[in-house]
Amino acid sequence: MSNTIKSINPYNQELIETYTLETETQVFSKLKMADKAFNDWKNEDIEHRTQLLINVGNILEERLEPLSKLITLEMGKPIQESRAEINKCIFLCDFYTTNAEEFLADQIIKTDAQESFISYDPLGVILAIMPWNFPFWQVLRFAIPTLAAGNTVVVKHASNVTGCALALQTIFEDAGFNPGCFQTLVTNHKVIEKVLEDPIVKAVSLTGSEKAGRSIAKVAGQHLKKAVLELGGNNACIVLDDANLNKYIDTIVKARMLNTGQSCIAAKRFIVTENIYDAFVDKFTAKVKTLKYSNPLNEETEIATLAREDLATDIQKQVDDAIQKGAKVVLGNQRDKAYFAPTILTEVTKDMAVFTEETFGPVAPIFKVKNIEEALELATNSKFGLGTMLFTEDTETATEHISKIPDGAFFINEMVKSDPRLPFGGTKASGYGRELSVEGIHEFVNVKTVYINK
């Protein structure tokens, strides 16, 4: 096994940097440092913690351009989307700066006691295992509330964005966080499993694939440690007969093609009622054709390569499976190394991989149904449960179907997206637990009952 990992630009396959993996001894030294840091950090008052969050936000703003370029070089995101990711992280810092004190305040409960309340105490060292597709946002939406609550964190980031991982640690250090509060672990998954097993680690948060989630949940369960899992998605985008396509087609296309389709909450199954079906296919195809592909560092780029060549190979297999089973290619189905062209499929059926599996790339299968009842039945026919979106002018009727959607989110006339003000997470094979909002900051605390008779 190699003791190095390489960061490679997926657009031109050029080597960006080679990193030496940390030894098990080095990793556990960091773990002990995180544990030691927790003993001081947990006692820092909330005003001090939130001031440091302000510092993180300011540094992100100051370094917006180089950090955005780093994201684009390492995982191929169009530069404008990289900037948007950093700006969203700044908003995240602002949100918890404003609200952390209220979220963590003791909650007074009237009981038979003279005084009783709920106290939210930090747990200790929390391990995070993070993906490459939003290399700053995914880490910070975990780390910011977790640190604000008084925990310390160690992060195993995806190997292809190691530069981003190390940049994140530098940001926290420069913001004035105590040494050991935020540390990046540059190592392999075998060592990380041992880290999770260690008593120092009190809980784990993973954003990644269903397979990774099952593996981490198994280890966490064996050691009775809490886990928050944000896994894959196969979100349905339902378009009803009365949907205003002229108003929402840009949003619908963005729901599939943002980040070149590499998003767990992207629209991955388009379910369209028959009276609007042909118009939808025409407008959707016309809009996708306008998306500009070029070097992701170019300002006009809207579609880029996938983050790695093997990801494009996986998408090709899923599309080939659909074609072999009768699907028709309306657009796309061209591949060149890590590039996979935006692809639209019609005449798709439930036995195809593009229906049953998560397609992590710019592929849009479009299903035709008779009515909303059939649309909802098809939408909920999935092992995943991250989110569903529905487009209609009759929002009152749409809200009557909220209880029929078993997912973690239901968006009407908008793409499913994460927002610091709202809880984020899924059901079924999409995982469990919630990030963001008040629910996110409470995931890694001891919800302690205090009962006092004087």
For 216-266, the DSSP string reads HHHHHHHTT-EEEEE----EEEEE-TT--HHHHHHHHHHHHHGGGG--TTS
Q: pLDDT tens across 155-181, in order?
A: 999 999 999 999 999 999 999 999 999
- All residue ranges of the chain with pLDDT < 70 are 1
Q: Indicate left, alpha or beta for 60 from its phi (over 0: left) and psi (-120 to 50: alpha).
A: alpha
Where does residue 211 rank: exposed (0-12), middle (13-18), buried (19+ CB within 10 A)?
A: exposed
Amino acid letter, residue 186:
V
Distance CA 319, CA 325 (A): 10
Q: Name the DSSP class of 124.
A: S
Distance CA 243, CA 22 (A): 53
Cβ atoms 338, 318 nearer than 8 A:
no
Q: Is 65 a catalytic residue?
A: no
Distance CA 132, CA 156 (A): 11
Query: For the chain, which domains are there?
Result: 4-231+430-452 (3.40.605.10), 235-419 (3.40.309.10)
**What pLDDT score does 2 carry?**
79
**What pLDDT score does 1 carry?**
61
- Set 230, 302, 357, 443: catalytic member: 230
Phi, psi for residue 328 in degrees, rounded to 5: -110, 135
Q: pLDDT tens across 84-109, in order?
A: 999 999 999 999 999 999 999 999 99
